[in-house]
Structure 1
Amino acid sequence: MPSPRRQDPTSNLRLGVDLVDVHAIEDSLAEFGDRFVHRIFSTHEVEVSSGSPKRLAARFAAKEALIKALDLAEIGVDWRNIEVRGDAAGRPGMRLAGNVAARARELGAHDILLSMSHEGSLAMATVIAQIRPMEPAATG
């Protein structure tokens, strides 16, 4: 049986889910302040979140969920290359840059769906990345 982290290269969907303790974000904000914020979040994300630890935790979870969905843990990611942005209708989405965008192109990711939520001391996010299926290798 394959490892649960392993992705089938012919699959057209990839899933990532993450759950974050809001208190951990509060602790990082208290200990590291702006250094933490500017290392992880874009200016836009900070403005939209109004500094709310719950909203920042949901965005952190979204970034982690994308890392899982696109299997980015091994390439090293600048957190700000994953930006949570809403569309004109207010639906959450993601803007990718740098090596994250390059990996998404390499995989053929053409649509990334995001859902985020927070309740009490927990924040969560789910990412579904739609991937163009790879052509099966010719055998001959």
Structure 2
Amino acid sequence: MALQCGVDLVEIQRLERLDPQIRQRFLRRVFTPLELEEANEDLAVLAGRFAVKEAVAKALGCGIGPISWQEIEVRRGPEGQPLLHLHGRAAERAAALHLREWSVSITHTRTLAMAMVVALGPSEGENGA
């Protein structure tokens, strides 16, 4: 079985301290329109999603660069749970690693947001690989 995990911790103030002149450009570069809409300008929510993106890039073993921020999307599920959607090169890399199922967890304090992701899939050569 293929198993990958990633974790990331973000200071929420990191987003709060962004220069107002570049904040909106940064947010539009990192987050999809749906992510921005669902967050409704809540910086703790955005910090959590930022942490998910970093954690996913770590689980994919490549970091941000070979894949872009917007190729990793965190949506709100029917019960409010985070759901991961991969696009483009992120989805291609996950497929190459045989990662088909993802679990995402996000937590916050007043000052920190943390995310952990776990991805599973059959090993190369197993059924469906």
TM-score (norm 1): 0.83
Pick one of 79, 99, 114 that aligns with 1:109.
99
Residue 25 (structure 1) shift: 1.3
1-structure distance, mates of 2:38, 2:64:
30
Residue 75 (structure 1) shift: 5.4
2:85 aligns to what?
A: 95
1:38-117 superposed matches below 5 A: 38-73=28-63, 76-117=66-107
| Partners of 2:3 and 2:118 within 8 A in 1 | yes
1:109 match: secondary structure: coil
Report the CA distance shift for 1:50/1:29 in structure 2 as closer, same or farther (over 3 A): farther
- Aligned length, in residue pairs: 126
TM-score (norm 2): 0.89
C-alpha RMSD over aligned residues: 1.8
| Partners of 2:57 and 2:64 within 8 A in 1 | no
Report the CA distance shift for 1:100/1:23 in structure 2 as closer, same or farther (over 3 A): same
1:120 aligns to what?
A: 110
Greater Rg over alpha carbons, structure: 1
Report the CA distance shift for 1:17/1:74 in structure 2 as closer, same or farther (over 3 A): closer
1:112 match: secondary structure: strand
| Partners of 2:100 and 2:121 within 8 A in 1 | yes
Report the CA distance shift for 1:69/1:132 in structure 2 as closer, same or farther (over 3 A): same
| Partners of 1:72 and 1:100 within 8 A in 2 | no
